[in-house]
Amino acid sequence: MTGLLEGKTALVTGAGHGIGRGHALELAKHGATVVVNDLGTSVNGEGSGRDADAVVDLIGARGGKAVADYSDVGDEQQVEELVGRAVDDLGRLDIVVNNAGIVRDRAIWNMSAADFDLVMRVHVRGTWLVSRAAATRWRSEAKAGGGSVYGRIVNTTSGAGLLGNFGQTNYGTAKAAIVGLTQTLSLELAGIGVTVNAISPGGVTRLSATLGGDRKALEPDERPEDEFDPKDPSLCCPVVAWLASPQAGHVSGQVIRAIGEEITLMDGWSRGATISNGGTRWDAEKLGARLATDVFRTRIPGLRLGS
């Protein structure tokens, strides 16, 4: 065990399998006590179980400290109790990694409203509820103390949210919403010293394996530590551990894509080409030519530049 997160307490949601499991193992490796949260559902959000227990046992076998939790992150009361237990039983909560998620992939003409609502409930509502519960306690601590606290939130987005993906209007929308939540939270919590960032991971997990093809989901602990596998979903976990550490106190409101051997800072919605009409109202019939040449850098057949 190393000491990058020594003395810190971390809550990781959806930590029973895949990326969340990797986060829990990585945070514990660096000295954090980890609350391993997992409702134990299927990838579609059905059923429940005690999947978190296996991760707690793994952490314990490696010399770390962890406790299991089976709360539903979409349930307001359960989330409040979960965060309360972390603070009361473990003495503090320093790090929140919002990772819980499910998929219900279908093209929009085959997707039910229930498929959309449940995915949004787990990803967006779940991330918001856990973040709110932690933020409320951190703000109270800051007001009672010196005005600031140690707090780290790391949310989870994906390529589907950043770039889009066929058949995932629910999942992609949820993951895009989490980016907006991350940026807004980073502004609201900056005054009390809390950083909020998002990670966009890759690799083959139980969720991504449902997309088809030759995909077999392996847990992070099922791979030899000395072998590099670009499909390993836990390759992003060291980035999360760093974001959760004191070293990353200057980083907030960022989206980092960590897939395989590459780490990429996403630029997001930045200002591109801009045109002005000099304080007069635009004419829709004339607007196309300006947009084509000055914004989209395309050409309209028969249009003479400068005309």
User: pLDDT tens digits for 21-39?
Assistant: 999 999 999 999 999 999 9
Based on the residue annotation, tell me whether 175 is a catalytic residue of this protein: yes
Structure pTM? 0.91
Neighbours of 85 (CB within 10 A): 16
Q: Let me know: does 149 contact 142? Beta carbons within 8 Å.
A: yes
pLDDT of residue 200 exceeding 50, the answer is yes
Measured CA to CA, the distance from residue 249 to residue 206 in angstroms comes to 32
Catalytic, out of 175, 234, 245, 252: 175
Looking at residue 33, the DSSP 8-state letter turns out to be E
Q: Which two tokens stand for residue 74?
A: 């979409």
Catalytic, out of 71, 131, 158, 208: 158
pLDDT of residue 269 exceeding 90, the answer is no
The pLDDT assigned to 67 comes to: 97
Based on the residue annotation, tell me whether 48 is a catalytic residue of this protein: no
Based on the residue annotation, tell me whether 29 is a catalytic residue of this protein: no
pLDDT in tens, 216-255: 677 888 777 778 888 888 899 999 999 999 999 999 999 9
Neighbours of 293 (CB within 10 A): 16
Neighbours of 33 (CB within 10 A): 23
Per-domain residue ranges for the chain?
A: 9-265, 271-307
The pLDDT assigned to 304 comes to: 55
Record: fold of 9-265: Rossmann fold (3.40.50)
At 299, is the pLDDT very low, low, confident or very high (cuts 50, 70, 90)? low
The pLDDT assigned to 307 comes to: 43
